[in-house]
Amino acid sequence: MRYDCGMKKAEHLAEFPVHYECPVAWGEMDAFEHVNNVAYFRYFESARIAYFNRVGYLAILEETQVGPILASTSCRYRHPLAFPDRVTVGAKVSEIGADRFTMLYRVVSEKHGVIAADGEGLIVSYDYGKGQKAPLPEALRAAIVELEADLA
């Protein structure tokens, strides 16, 4: 995908069904006068939780003790962020397996109108009562497929 400064936020996030918006905080900047890398993972986390709320994953966890555990995560930084700014973070599921799914994230700067970062996270279904990996709950799988519409 080409990263074009002229694209609008809606175009950058068109393939992401869940959006989370937040201001860039002054305290997120580091000595190099841009947002520290750790902040991007917090943005991803907030978008992930918004996605989980949308598909009812946290309610499923409360009811069954089967919920998400983040197995791995990564970030590709594309454009530096700095205070003041506001970001919108998109979240989507790109792949779904028997006991896991892959989430993709995109951070878009309102001030610059560009993609600031893309990320990925592997979420594994975990039975917190038994302390072990578990199959994805069927209700969760159905809600993800419905939300993503084209996910098989």
Domain extent listing, the chain = 9-148
Q: What is the pLDDT of residues 123-151, one digit of tens each?
A: 999 999 999 999 999 999 999 999 998 65
Q: What is the pLDDT of residues 103-125, one digit of tens each?
A: 999 999 999 999 999 999 999 99
Contact 69, 123 (CB under 8 A): yes
Class of domain 9-148: alpha beta
Q: State residue 1's pLDDT score.
A: 38
Q: What is the pLDDT of residues 59-98, one digit of tens each?
A: 999 999 999 999 999 999 999 999 999 999 999 999 999 9
Task: Tell me the one-letter amino acid at 81.
Answer: L
Average pLDDT over residues 30-50: 97
**pTM flag (> 0.75):** yes
Contact 73, 21 (CB under 8 A): no
33: left (phi over 0), alpha (psi -120 to 50) or beta: left
Cβ-count burial 114-138 (b if 16+ within 10 Å, e if not): bbbbbbebbbbbbeeeeeeebebbe
